[in-house]
Structure 1
Amino acid sequence: MSRPTLSSTRESARQAKSGFNYFMEGFHLIRRPGLRTFVFIPLMINLLLFAGAFYVAFGQLEQLFAYISGQLPEYLSWLNFLLWPLAVLTMLVVMAFIFSSVMNWLAAPFNGLLAEKVEQLLTGKTLYTGTTSDLIKDLPRILGREWLKLKYYLPRAILFLLLFWVPLVGQTAAPVLWFLFSSWMMAIQYCDYPFDNHKVPFNDMRFALRQTKGTSMSFGAAVTLFSMIPVVNFIVMPVAICGATAMWVDRYREAYRHPNIAPE
């Protein structure tokens, strides 16, 4: 069975918006009254888990600095004032990246619901994805989809990370390649939710994103860059889902629409 092409789907929207535009549109969508509940739940889970982990990590950091202070001569004690802010900022950035990965697993069912509601808001058409009990029964498949993304990500990530150890050429090219790869993975991660709501296979979803690779990469680059900003990274996930769903509606929906949806 051949995959659908996207040449005839919403051509005017394709020309008008970049992936970055779609991501920024997500900031407007998360404030819409009908979406706030679906944004709030995963956001609160994220904040509570992050706050708990930060409390534990901060305690460990205090112990580490107490040990370092005991080892430093008195004339170098001023280093604590320099190192503390740097250590806390580094910890925040590292934890933000770790939690973005963990939260994609924990919030996967909520993310699918958010994508569904955004699509309904943008199109006025209801996508029937089942009752709450159907959602619970569907959890193994939803988590299996996350596992597919992880299996796709890990070997490629390891390969790119190994490039950092290659002298000269690798160390020059690796940061650029890593950013490009991260951008591609962010596009896959967040565009997958509306695709999965329509039961589009994972490989077909990647095929569709490759057809519009410039838009996909600019969307993923925006997600990657905003994920590096402390505090802002807490809301990147719902913003990216809303933006990715808007991109789905404009560019892919007509070609990959699920049969359980009202006709146009």
Structure 2
Amino acid sequence: MQHSSLSSVQYLSKGFSLIWKPKIRTFVFIPLLINLLLLTIATIYAFENLSSWYNSLQQSDSSIIQWVMEWLDWLIWPLVVICVFIVIFFIFAFIANWIAAPFNGLLSEAVEKYLANDQFIDKPFNFSEFFNDIPRLLKREWKKFLYYLPRALGCLILFLTPLAIVAPFIWFFFNAWMAGIQYIDYPMDNHKISFSQMLKEIRQQRGSTFGFGTIVMLLTMIPVVNILVMPAAVAGGTALWFDKFHHKQH
């Protein structure tokens, strides 16, 4: 099956359509359920704590904070809302990716089989292989976490500096890059491509990776739609990988 290069939006759109295919949708249910549960918790937590935190900020004893809040309240509140929701949703999405990693790997494999058509040697599902693969998959997620953590801390430190006004945007774009890595990595991991090699190949397609991750992040913040983002991103990321990276494996 031949595929032309698509835009980041088109790849995610393709992911949304792929997850309903007969041979793929079977592997969507568990990641979907995990995402629904954790995003519900994230939403409840955000709404319950955001207002009280912001009120305490307005009542701060610091004259600098009071001055900033008085003159820039119209700008700070939207930025705070965006920042808090991005942080909370990404943390919960990160946890969901850990829990759903084995199932997302199966979903990615099913999507690849569909895209490859008769070029793919279809094997029956093996429960033993699936459970044996879980430690390796979790180890991969741990490597992503070690890659993510120091860079995330560096971004968050910006909130305590004079660059705090642009920190939410830096935080968003960094997490968009991580989202691209997260979902394009599933098919690479299925093909036993090492983490370092995966990063090397992804950096050669920075535009596609970053663009795809940005669209994923934006949709993650839209209620209802965000429930389907994880499986659609896995499918869309696999389609992107199949178009732009798959030929390097053959």
Cα distance, 1:153 vs. partner? 0.3
Which residue number corresponds to residue 79 of structure 1? none
What CA RMSD, in Å, does the superposition of the two structures yield over aligned residues? 3.0
Q: 1:95 to 1:213 in 2, by over 3 A?
A: closer
Q: CA deviation at 1:234?
A: 1.1
Partner of 1:241: 234
Which position in structure 2 is the counterpart of 1:160? 155
Retained in 1: the 8 A contact 2:85–2:221? no
**Counterpart amino acid of 2:19?**
I
Contact 2:39–2:227, Cα closer than 8 Å, also in 1: no
Alignment partner, residue 101 of structure 2: 108
Q: Would you say 1:24 and 2:13 are equivalent positions?
A: yes
Look up the match of 1:139: 134
CA deviation profile, 1:111-135 (whole Å, cap 9, x unmatched): 0000000000011113659721112
Distance 1:50 1:199, change over 3 A: same
Unaligned runs of 5+ in 2: 53-80
Displacement after TM superposition at 1:233 (Å) = 1.1
1:38 equivalent among 27, 32, 52? 27
The letter of the residue matching 2:211 is S
Three-state SS of the structure 2 residue aligned to 1:126 is coil
1:98–1:137 Cα change, 3 Å? same
In structure 2, do the counterparts of structure 1 residues 206 and 93 end up closer, same or farther at CA, with 3 Å as the change threshold? closer
Structure with greater helix share of residues: 2
The amino acid that maps onto 1:39 is V
- What is the percentage of aligned positions where both structures have the same residue? 46
Instruction: Provide the C-alpha distance between the structure 2 equivalents of 1:94 and 1:178, rounded to a whole number of angstroms.
Output: 8
Q: Report the AA paired with residue 159 of structure 1.
A: G
Unpaired segments ≥5 residues, structure 1: 1-9, 65-88, 258-264
Change in Cα spacing, 1:246 to 1:129, as seen in structure 2 (3 Å) is farther
Per the normalisation by structure 1, the TM-score is 0.73
Name the residue aligned to 1:226: 219
CA separation in 1, counterparts of 2:39 and 2:169? 29
CA distances 1:15-73 after superposition (whole Å, capped 9, x unpaired)? x4222221121111112121111111221233345557878x69x88xx9xxxxxxxxx
Decide whether the 8 Å contact of 1:92 with 1:230 is kept in 2: no
Distance 1:166 1:254 in 2: 45
Amino acid at match of 1:112: G
TM-score, normalised via structure 2 length: 0.77
Question: Residues 215-247 of structure 1: CA distance to partner in whole angstroms, max 9, x if unpaired?
Answer: 111101001111111221111100100001001
Distance 2:191 2:7 in 1: 23
CA displacement at 1:187 relative to structure 2? 0.7
| Letter matched to residue 223 of structure 2 | P
Amino acid at match of 1:222: I
Aligned length: 218
Q: Which residue type is aligned with residue 187 of structure 1?
A: G
Instruction: Indicate the structure (1 or 2) with the bigger Cα radius of gyration.
Output: 1
* 2:208 aligned to which of 209, 215, 225: 215
